[in-house]
Amino acid sequence: MTTDYLERGLHEFEHGNFKTAKEHFTQIIDKADDSDDISETLKRRAVCWHELGHYNDAIDDANRIIKLDPKSTSGYAICGNALTKLGKFEDALNVFRLGLKIDSNDPDIKNGLKGMQMDIMEGFEKNSKEGTYDAVKMSSQEPYPGDYELEILEREIMCKWGLNEFPALDLTIPDTQKAMREYQNAIQLKKAGNDKHALEKLRMALRYDPADFTLRGEIASLLHEMGEHREAFQHVQCIPGDFRLPKYWKIGGKILSALELPVHAEAWLRSGSKADKTDVEMPLLFQNIRVKRLYGPLTEGTKVNVVFTQYGRSIQAAEDIKHGDACFRDKAAVLAQTLDTIHVPACNHCAKCLMRAEDYFGKDVLARDAELRKIVHRHWPVRPTIECKGCGTQTIYCSTECRDESWSMYHQVLCTSVNPAVEQLHAVAAQYKTLARDNRCWKGLWNASYSPFVLAKIWASVICLAHNLATQEGRQMPTAADWTMAKSPFRKFIAYGSTSVIGVIPKMVQIMQEVFDNAHLPAHFRYKITNKEFDGRYYQASCNVQAFSDPAPPFSIFMRNMARDGKRDVVMPYTRAEPEDALFAGMFPLHACLNHSCDNNVEVLDGHPGVSVKARRQIKKGEELCTTYINTRMPRKERRAWLYRGYNFWCQCPRCKYEGDGPDKCTECGKVAKDDGRDKYPGCGKCHLAWYCSTGCQKAAWKKGHKRICKKC
């Protein structure tokens, strides 16, 4: 019977009738028992699924093939190809890499990789009309949580400074003609750069016509330029709201910003932007005021500022920074150990590695060798392991401070002793090791490389903060305002994702929803996660997580200590293997403002706690700090394709501007080689990364910027 199905299946398969072939193969697979070898049939059925466009089913079969025969590369090739078709290029790449570990020359995997690059490129070519995306338009001007309280404080200051009063004015007999004459004189004087006399003339004009709003606006503008902000504001606020032209809202916003009254400044610019939707300066000013007030406290004592540019928030050098200097450090808003290193002991709150000597050398080895044991105990740093009072060894810390802080910030919602539903997340983490062998795309459950605990900690932090805010006010349940306020720290993280993940990982969505809304949780901790919010948080994490680990794990300290020990030869034979790092994924509010450049001037290093951003070269005051999001060794076309896919932007960095895509097109003028009768253009003799149709183009490109990025220079 089985032979029958096989023969018929193969016949249909060879004739390209994949639907019928798949049905025959399914008969064999469904009827097989444990002793039957169905790998070949699974492979053929997986190809049928692939040809029929059922890529998820092809992945399922590929995973079964890998389980049955972990040494075979076919499962990896099939899985990688299907992931490619689903557009999950990073996952596909990871799967192909696993296959290459088994056979680095496997032709199917090599073809799969080529196919994947071609698919990426195809998407790139299709979209290669470079979109100009406008970060300002995408950014909200909604009032920020807590603005109401700040507004009251600012209003008190404004009253104290007399900003709401009318400016002193020596009135005279109204005469609009005289007013006009003085105004025109003022314009001439202003043009000639004589601001002081221009101001006198404007004041004079106002005495003749105190109801002229244009005069008020001009005086306000001039006084603001001269640094007389308080009086400037008195004039502009004399213009009643209904008569305020957009330019007056703008000048009012600028003055209030100079007076360091950001909430009022934002309110004026918000009104101005509504009144004139074509003005590009006001929304930009608005966002710059906002980033200044939100990020000012984070950049205090660092060498950087956060500013708002066409690419959204970005980090700028506040002073000259030397090559090798630390520009800033950042502490994670949330962090979680990556699933593939979850077995390495580390502090759940600050990421400090807690690996003990027994974990590295093995208990037996240390028990057997007394001399080794003595030396190891002398040099291995002692790091206490503090268990959670509720869930015990499930959650460990490096100190009681970390334990207590974690409890009050989020763990009281995530501790399985309080919330048994969290066991589901731990189960997911525990299963990951086996799944990781197959692929990292975990159908239904998870399809990203960071940990779902990152998401869980975001919601848990929001819940705890909302609860704390309510308790401070003597309330049991958080109000809508408490929730908004509690969510505000996470508004700092941009979210970009073009498709919903709800259908891709429905089981994880369900687990998260249960974790935060179940009968075991006290009512004030319960929170309903909508599908929309799940997507938003998922992409927030995807766009911003940074991998990091303890910069001084116990093993490296031990090795440093050992280097000075005369008996190091006793230990050396046991220390050949590097221990695994406890790798963490974190969301860092300041670091998340770093934009990308393929010619990055900073690099992100492990710091304690968190990350440290270091200059890779000299950075001048005012220059933007850029890290890299991708492997910058890829050629330009691939780099841009990866960035477009992953982050939705076309890189315009100097390398992307002054490197080319190949000898078929002039890098400088874009002329196509075949159009002018030539097959290929010669490349830059120094870096071989740019191609020119003429020496004129080569010289022009060199002058404009190729010189800066040319490797041999």
Ligand X SMILES: C[S@@+](CC[C@H](N)C(=O)[O-])C[C@H]1O[C@@H](n2cnc3c(N)ncnc32)[C@H](O)[C@@H]1O
Interface ranges with ligand X (CB under 6 A): 311-314, 494, 496, 543-544, 592-593, 595-597, 647-649, 651
CB of 111 to ligand X, least distance (A): 32
Whose structure tokens read 């890189």? 651
Comparison of 521 and 611: residue with beta carbon closer to ligand X: 611
CB of 646 to ligand X, least distance (A): 8
Comparison of 293 and 596: residue with beta carbon closer to ligand X: 596
Comparison of 299 and 439: residue with beta carbon closer to ligand X: 299
CB of 311 to ligand X, least distance (A): 4
Comparison of 257 and 544: residue with beta carbon closer to ligand X: 544
Q: Strands 602-607 and 334-337: what pairing?
A: unpaired
Comparison of 471 and 648: residue with beta carbon closer to ligand X: 648
CB of 150 to ligand X, least distance (A): 22
| Gap between the Cα atoms of 11 and 8, Å rounded | 5
What residues contact 233, with CB distance under 8 A and at least 6 apart? 163, 220, 252, 255, 256, 259
CB of 572 to ligand X, least distance (A): 43
**3-class SS of residue 237:** coil
| Gap between the Cα atoms of 298 and 301, Å rounded | 8
Comparison of 388 and 651: residue with beta carbon closer to ligand X: 651
Cβ-based neighbour number of residue 675 at 10 Å: 9
CB of 286 to ligand X, least distance (A): 14
| Gap between the Cα atoms of 451 and 414, Å rounded | 14
| Gap between the Cα atoms of 315 and 595, Å rounded | 8
**3-class SS of residue 693:** coil
- What is the 8-class DSSP label of residue 393? E
Comparison of 592 and 710: residue with beta carbon closer to ligand X: 592
**3-class SS of residue 314:** strand
Cβ-based neighbour number of residue 706 at 10 Å: 27
Comparison of 183 and 658: residue with beta carbon closer to ligand X: 658
Cβ-based neighbour number of residue 713 at 10 Å: 10
Comparison of 624 and 668: residue with beta carbon closer to ligand X: 624
206 closest CA partner among 409, 198, 106: 198
Comparison of 62 and 593: residue with beta carbon closer to ligand X: 593
- What is the 8-class DSSP label of residue 479? -
CA distances (Å), 613 to each of 301, 584, 629, in order?
14, 17, 14
Query: Nearest to ligand X by Cβ — which residue?
Result: 312
Comparison of 106 and 266: residue with beta carbon closer to ligand X: 266
CB of 332 to ligand X, least distance (A): 14
CA distances (Å), 43 to each of 38, 68, 287, 508, in order?
9, 11, 55, 29
Comparison of 13 and 450: residue with beta carbon closer to ligand X: 450
| Strand ordering across the sheet containing 602-607 | 326-330, 610-615, 602-607
**3-class SS of residue 611:** strand
Q: In the Cβ-directed half-sphere of 493, how many Cα atoms lie within 13 Å?
A: 26
CB of 134 to ligand X, least distance (A): 11
CB of 115 to ligand X, least distance (A): 27
CB of 612 to ligand X, least distance (A): 17
| Gap between the Cα atoms of 257 and 236, Å rounded | 14
Comparison of 494 and 557: residue with beta carbon closer to ligand X: 494
**3-class SS of residue 220:** helix
CB of 290 to ligand X, least distance (A): 11
CB of 710 to ligand X, least distance (A): 21
| Gap between the Cα atoms of 221 and 227, Å rounded | 10
Comparison of 262 and 312: residue with beta carbon closer to ligand X: 312
**3-class SS of residue 547:** strand
Comparison of 2 and 499: residue with beta carbon closer to ligand X: 499
Comparison of 321 and 593: residue with beta carbon closer to ligand X: 593
Q: How far is CA 510 from the centre of its chain?
A: 25
What residues contact 119, with CB distance under 8 A and at least 6 apart? 84, 85, 87, 89
CB of 314 to ligand X, least distance (A): 6
Kindly state the tokens that stand for 31.
Answer: 């009827």
- Return the H-helix or E-strand segment holding 275: helix 262-275
CB of 496 to ligand X, least distance (A): 5
DSSP string over 10-49: HHHHHTT-HHHHHHHHHHHHHH--TTS--HHHHHHHHHHH
What residues contact 286, with CB distance under 8 A and at least 6 apart? 141, 253, 266, 269, 270, 273
CB of 83 to ligand X, least distance (A): 22
CB of 622 to ligand X, least distance (A): 17
317 closest CA partner among 626, 603, 623: 623
Comparison of 419 and 627: residue with beta carbon closer to ligand X: 627
CB of 261 to ligand X, least distance (A): 24
Sign of the C-alpha dihedral computed for residues 569, 572, 573 and 574 taken in this order: positive
Q: Are 583 and 335 in contact (CB under 8 A)?
A: no
